[in-house]
Structure formats: C-alpha cells, structure tokens
Amino acid sequence: MLLGQKKEAYKTLIKERQRFWKRILIVDDNEDVTTTFKVEIEDGNNSVDVNKRIQVHTSNDPIVALSKFKPD
C-alpha cells in the first residue's frame, strides 16, 4: 500500500470509530457545574469500549455554545 492510501485508510477508520461516539453539550452559567459533569462523564469513558465513548462539550455562554456546537 502506498503512503497516501494508508493515510486515507486511517482517516476512514477514524471517521468510522467517531461515528459511534455520542456527543453532548452541557451549558450552564456556573463553570463548576459544567466542569464537574464533564470530568465525571469523561472518567466514565475510561471503563467502556472505545466505540461507546461520550464526547463532552461545555460552555458557560448559551449563545456561543449554540453557534459552535453543531448536531451530527
């Protein structure tokens, strides 16, 4: 396999794996709340299969959060 083909195959594999990830957005004006939830959820990722991980995004500003976080 050529180097370019290997890179493309790797990108495809990563996209397939990411497809199984769940993404959530946590928005609260209290930074402690968003940080606490994010840390707890990400700690839970360590004990599950890589295809069942949850990707956590947090924000303390709802306007910014809605403009940056796009659903799949």
Would 55 be classed as within a structural domain?
yes
User: Tell me, what's the pLDDT at 19?
Assistant: 55
Q: Report if residue 31 sits inside a domain.
A: yes
Dist. CA 66–CA 47, nearest whole Å: 30
How confident is the prediction along the chain (72 residues), in pLDDT tens digits per residue? Answer: 566 777 787 777 666 666 557 889 999 999 999 999 999 998 888 776 766 788 889 999 999 998 888 776
Whole-number pLDDT of residue 18: 60
Name the pTM for this structure: 0.64
- Residue 13 resides in a domain: no
- Is residue 9 in a domain? no
What pLDDT does residue 11 have? 75
Q: Is residue 12 part of a domain?
A: no
Q: Which ranges constitute the DSSP H helices of the chain?
A: 3-19, 31-45, 62-68
Residue pair 53/45 in contact (Cβ under 8 Å)? The answer is yes
- What integer pLDDT is reported at residue 68 of this predicted model? 85
> How far is 39 from 43, CA to CA, in rounded Å?
6
Query: What is the number of structural domains in the chain?
Result: 1
Range of the domain at 47: 21-72
Within-domain flag for 2: no
Q: Residue written as tokens 């799949």?
A: 72
